[in-house]
Amino acid sequence: MQTTRRFFLQTTCAAALVPKVVVAANETLPKSVPPHHEAMFWEPLPNDEVRCQLCPQMCRVSDGERGLCRVRENRGGKYYTLVHSKPSAIHVDPVEKKPLFHFRPRQKAFSLATAGCSLACRFCQNWELSQARPEDLRHTSLPPDAVVRRAQEAGAGIIAHTYSEPVVFYEYMRDICLAASGTGIGRVMISSGFIRKEPMEQLLPHLDAVKIDLKSFSHSFYVDVCSAQLRPVLDTLRRVHDSGVWLEIVVLVIPGLNDSAAEFEAMSMWIVQKLGRDVPVHFTRFHPAYRMMNLPNTPIATLERARKTAMEAGIRYAYCGNVPGHPGENTFCPGCGAEVVSRRGFHIQRRNMANGRCRECGTAIAGIW
């Protein structure tokens, strides 16, 4: 995709309205974010142009311009990432907030993100980060080894690349994962899954868990609402599953857009057939955000219908998300039906498991416990 000056100017003007994300009281907004780290996965073209090969957008970028993600720039026929070691959001969250319900429960996740995203979802909850350029946001300088050190100091057993889209800060994420290797810290990617085959396959050996947002099971939804495509996301889901890295899926259910019975059924059947019955699927409640303030909250009954459809299709671990206190937040044994994990929001209230198995009948509960 050709990146034009018109697109660049439009995104620049839009980004000027983005609230600044402050990560530390003593940080100052940098005057510029010069490239200092060559990007991976690109090819040179004539006339000092480059083609990015990181995500399926395949941006063709002229000298002095950036890709659609806003954080990768062509300088004299070389492609650079502008956000390596420059996170604009840092927080320590419970891993259940990602949400990951079957990966190291109750552990803290040192979570970080930079500006930028390769999608343009009209409902984005974190649009202040994802739709911004790096120079529009405050950032802190935090090299990969410092991320690991900060996570250890915070008592976090997990480092999560999250909030915006970690694919666009791929090099930083990869280097953090390498720095964390051998420390016992879990390495997690929270992503839309919109990434090409080679970069995903190179990253997977350095990850312990991946959560993918499957935004819809409709190609037209991806095109019209997210400026992306469905097929690459489905391919990523299969690659993660086939690699053995722990996988969970989140489906944000948006009223009138991706909430039909037919879509729930087709999606659930595909998951069972291609990924198996043990991949947890979270059907999450939509709240109006960004450019979809006109839509209502998702009715809880719609989430319940989606969960019921998934379970009838054979998915063993289906959840209702963003509805604290709902029984659909809990994990039930697929063997005897006993409640093995009781949750409220992001907090575990009770566990009825031993060594990853149901205390009542001994059935193994899928996950990394």
Query: Which pLDDT score, from 0 to 100, does residue 35 have?
Result: 55
Please state, in angstroms and rounded to a whole number, the distance separating the CA atoms of residues 342 and 287.
Answer: 24
Please state, in angstroms and rounded to a whole number, the distance separating the CA atoms of residues 275 and 61.
Answer: 36
- DSSP letter for each residue of 302-345: HHHHHHHHHHHHT-S-EEEES-TT-GGGSEE-TTT--EEEEEET
Q: Please report, in angstroms and rounded to a whole number, the separation of the first and last CA atoms in the chain.
A: 43
Strand partners, 144: none
Burial 210-237 (b: 16+ CB within 10 A, else e): bbbbbbbbbeebbeebbbbebebbbbbb
- DSSP letter for each residue of 53-64: -SSTT--EE-TT
Determine the residue type at 361: C
Please state, in angstroms and rounded to a whole number, the distance separating the CA atoms of residues 144 and 131.
Answer: 24
Handedness of CA 360, 246, 90, 283 (dihedral sign): negative
Determine the residue type at 87: P
**What is the mean pLDDT, run by run of 10 residues, along the chain of 369 residues?**
37 33 38 71 98 98 97 97 97 97 98 98 96 96 98 98 98 98 98 98 98 98 98 98 98 98 98 98 98 97 98 98 97 98 96 97 98
Quick check: 71 and 83 in contact, CB under 8 A? yes
Query: Which pLDDT score, from 0 to 100, does residue 34 have?
Result: 52
Quick check: 292 and 258 in contact, CB under 8 A? no
Please state, in angstroms and rounded to a whole number, the distance separating the CA atoms of residues 294 and 250.
Answer: 23
How is residue 288 written in tokens? 């109006």
Domains of the chain in sequence order: 5-81 (no CATH), 89-358 (3.20.20.70)
How is residue 256 written in tokens? 């009138």
Quick check: 321 and 101 in contact, CB under 8 A? no
Query: Which pLDDT score, from 0 to 100, does residue 36 have?
Result: 73
Quick check: 189 and 237 in contact, CB under 8 A? no
Long-range CB pairs of 289-295, under 8 A, 24+ apart, other chains included: 289/123, 289/124, 289/125, 289/127, 290/121, 290/122, 290/123, 290/124, 290/125, 290/127, 291/122, 291/123, 292/122, 292/123, 292/254, 295/123, 295/254, 295/255, 295/256, 295/257
Which residues, including other chains, have CB under 8 Å from residue 205's CB and lie 6 or more apart?
Answer: 243
Please state, in angstroms and rounded to a whole number, the distance separating the CA atoms of residues 240 and 235.
Answer: 9
β-pair type (246-253, 209-213): parallel
